[in-house]
Structure 1
Amino acid sequence: LSFWNVLSTPPVFEACDEDNKGYLSREDFKVAVVILFGYKPSKVEVDSVMASAQPNNSGISIEMFLNLMNTKKAAQLYHSEMRQIFTAFDMQCKGFLTLEDFRKAFSIVVPKLPERIILEAFR
Structure 2
Amino acid sequence: MVAMFFSEAGARPWTWEASPSEHKKWVEVFKACDEDNKGYLSREDFKVAVIMLFGYKPSKIEADFAMSSVNPNASGILLEEFLSIVRKKKEVRLHWNEIRHIFTAFDRHYRGYLTLEDFKTAFKQVAPKLSERTVLDVFRHYQCKKKNGLQVCLQGSRSRLRWSCQL
1:27 to 39, 44, 47: 44
How far residue 47 of structure 1 moved from its aligned partner, in angstroms, is: 1.9
Instruction: Judging by fraction of residues, say which structure has more strand.
Output: 2
State the secondary structure of the residue aligned to 1:97.
strand
Question: Is 1:106–1:118's contact at 8 Å kept on the other side of the alignment?
Answer: yes
Question: Is 1:25–1:60's contact at 8 Å kept on the other side of the alignment?
Answer: yes
State the secondary structure of the residue aligned to 2:114.
coil
Name structure 2 gaps, 5 residues minimum.
1-16, 141-167
> CA RMSD for the aligned pairs?
1.5
Whether 2:83 is the aligned partner of 1:62: answer no
How far residue 49 of structure 1 moved from its aligned partner, in angstroms, is: 1.7
Structure 1: how far apart are the matches of 2:25 and 2:76?
A: 20
* Percent identity of equivalent pairs: 57
How far residue 110 of structure 1 moved from its aligned partner, in angstroms, is: 2.3
Whether 2:138 is the aligned partner of 1:121: answer yes
1:9 to 26, 29, 33: 26
Structure 1, 108-117 or 91-100: larger mean CA deviation: 108-117
Structure 2: how far apart are the matches of 1:82 and 1:119?
A: 20
Instruction: Count residues with an aligned counterpart.
Output: 123
Normalised to the residue count of structure 1, the TM-score between the two structures is 0.91
Name the counterpart of 2:95.
Answer: 78
Higher relative contact order (CA 8 A, sep 6+): 1
Structure 2: how far apart are the matches of 1:62 and 1:39?
A: 20
